[in-house]
Amino acid sequence: MAIVISRRAREFIQRKGGAVTVRLSPRHGCCGGMASLAVADAVAPDDPQTYRRVDLDGLTLFIAPELADEGLQVGLEGWGIFRHLYVDGAPLTR
């Protein structure tokens, strides 16, 4: 499983408790249709049994099985209280 977490994202996740969940999140279009976008949350999932768990350099990574081999990158963007994690490298799925 190739996943890269940037230094800034790693520090952010550690400050939030050390767990990160990478999953698909549905996005609905204004005129119908839907796409799933990969997202990262600095929390453990509610149902960890449905994720692959990986200990990665002091972090606990929970990753959706369909994203495990996508070569993802997790980064941090934003400013102050508006900082959030993002996922790069995963294709949109229908």
List the chain pLDDT tens, one digit each, 94 residues.
568 999 999 999 999 999 999 999 988 877 878 888 889 999 999 999 999 999 988 999 999 999 988 789 999 999 988 999 999 986 655 5
Q: Which domains does the chain have, with CATH numbers?
A: 3-88 (2.60.300)
16: tokens are 């939030």
10: tokens are 């790693």
pLDDT at 29: 77
Q: Which helix (H) or strand (E) holds 11?
A: helix 7-15
pLDDT at 18: 96
pLDDT at 45: 95
pLDDT at 86: 94
Return phi, psi of residue 57, to 5°.
50, 50
